[in-house]
Chains A and B, each alone.
Chain A
Amino acid sequence: MAKSITVDSLDIYYGDFLAVEGVSMTIKARSVTAFIGPSGCGKSTFLRSLNRMHEVIPGARVEGKVMVDGQSLYDSAVDPVAVRRQIGMVFQRPNPFPTMSIYENVLAGNRLNSKKMKKSEADDVVERSLKGANLWNEVKDRLGKPGMGLSGGQQQRLCIARAIAVEPQVLLMDEPCSALDPISTSAIEDLIHELKTDYTIVIVTHNMQQAARVSDETGFFNLKAAGEPGHLVEFNSTQKMFANPDNEATEAYISGRFG
């Protein structure tokens, strides 16, 4: 079910401002790829360009290639809506739909697209997704209650359940734990480990230990200088990255001597 992503010399712009320059990498299927780097270096921007969420912001555009399964995402014939159905996203702040119950939130991807579903089928999807997101046991008795009534960590897992309910090929996570306490964080990290068997996962994190714990490969982004565009400094297996990086700047950042 999972797909790999190939990125080739991608430049990302906000209007005339070049935010990220010349990124090339291959994100492996069924693995966790983490992006680290200082704030404002374009990690999130790059992540959002992988499912064309980037262009939701007026004036934003990209140049270069993102290939998923042999198709270029930025071809003129490609429908961004279809891309986003295959490449799901979890955001920094949990954002369940406030007008919907827990049950409806999980089904949102189907319901909002007016996909017809039998009740039993819908129940299955909800149970499978919530179990997949490690939330089932906590909410199974109150599926009809509003999603906003959950704690922050539960809301974030609800958002993950909502994202995997539509069975995407790839799951993008933009600092999914930055608003959560250590216990919820650890629950989500465990979850990422489990999801890895079915999904390609790309995660942006500010937490170096988290990148080391959950990811198989790591990309380090940095700014060349203040006001310059961000770029990919190094992309390697996580083990190598944290033990013996190729680039001095990477080592400096990871060991905390920088930024």
Chain B
Amino acid sequence: MSVTTAPVRTAPEAVSFTAARLPRIAPALVAVVAVAAAALPVLLLGWGPVAWAILSALVFLVALPVWAGVVEGRRGATDRLMTGLVWTACAIAVVPLASLLWTVVDRGLPRISSTFLTFSMYRTSLDQEVGIYHALIGTLLITIGAAVISVPIGIMAAIYLIEYGKGSRLAGWITFLVDVMTGIPSIVAGLFAFSVFILLFGPSYRSGIGGSVALSLLMIPVVVRSTEEMLRLVPADLREASYALGVPKWRTIVKVVLPTALGGIVTGVTLAIARVVGETAPLLLIAGLTTRTNFNLFDGRMTTLPVLIYTQNANPGIAETPGGTPPGVEIAWGAALVLIVIVMLLNLVARVIGRIFAPKTGH
């Protein structure tokens, strides 16, 4: 190594880190101007609020980048444009959801009462109150049945795929079939359960368990998939640490791998339940329809909330006052709200459980 003298670098003139920037309130300012500017044609031509919103967004998306381009240069303009587009896409995604929720709450809430939640549709005279109690019970029992069938199968299948069958041909086939199963239309699952139970128990057989079987067909692939992902996230280090302590493989899986992944698995299962709780078509076939409350999953028809919503909408009855809402439609809105609340609660529970079981890193 010989020492060489580095070429002497002349100091650059002066480095400037500052450049022209739009004021911080610029986006808000442009937004206000855009809304105001869009109001003009809206008022003149008598357009609705949707057109106003779209026009405002367009004006904003053009005006802000142009202004930024003049002041900040090309990179600033691109940045403002892309930021604007991302926000617009986000709004487009959220608006229908918010609107749907609002509509359901708005139309369903007036129908909710203690009678609505605790009475079934069975009545002996027309002036008696009706409710959705039978459908609530049906939904709960059939969904619990589906979960009881599919959670053990799904989790064990995922354990096989990740812990035992990795790389084998059988595991490859199972993964492929699970992927295919994810895409099965729910009515096909319903027809499958329907034909199985008809062949076994005769043509007039209807029961909640049939619905559970149909739903579990839809649920198993979701459970397998989510559990697989969670198990894959468990670092191989932990398995090796456990093996190195002389722990057999099955104990390692039960006591190290599963607890580490538990939060994610429970979340996945809960989301799978939330996914099937709203299924209509398969249940219409095999679980049938009834106005009475049926607690026996293995005998007799059972109504669930989605089936109730569907049938009430299809046969709404006659409104008491001419031009009013038919009673069936009101019941359907109320049931829809209850169903959404159930799904939301399930999601909340999934989050809470996920947080409780998440590996702790605190001090």
Contact = CB atoms under 8 A, between A and B. Distances in A.
Interface of A: 51, 53, 56, 58, 81-86, 88-89, 91, 93, 95-99, 108-109, 111-114, 145-146, 148-149, 159, 162-163, 166
B244 interface: yes
Interface in B72-104: none
A56 B361 contact: no
B244 to A, nearest CB: 4
Given A58-B167, A98-B260, A146-B360, A91 B247 contact: no
Interface in B25-66: none
B246 A98 contact: no
Contact of B245 (A58, A98, A108): A108
A86 B259 CA distance: 26
A146 B362 contact: yes
Interface residues of B, number: 27
A5 to B, nearest CB: 16
Interface string B245-267: 11110011001100110100000
Q: Looking at chain A's contact residues, is the secondary structure mostly helix, strand, loop, or mixed?
A: mixed
A99 B257 CA distance: 10
A81 B247 contact: yes
B357 to A, nearest CB: 8
A108 B242 contact: yes
Contact of B240 (A95, A108, A148, A166): A95
A149 B241 contact: no
A80 to B, nearest CB: 8
B184 interface: no
A157 to B, nearest CB: 14
B243 A53 contact: yes
Given A84-B245, A97-B242, A163-B244, 10 more contacts: A84-B246, A91-B240, A91-B241, A109-B246, A112-B242, A112-B247, A113-B251, A114-B251, A146-B361, A166-B246
B243 A112 contact: no
16 contacts: A51-B244, A53-B244, A56-B243, A81-B247, A85-B246, A95-B235, A95-B240, A96-B241, A99-B259, A111-B255, A112-B252, A114-B251, A145-B362, A146-B360, A148-B359, A162-B241
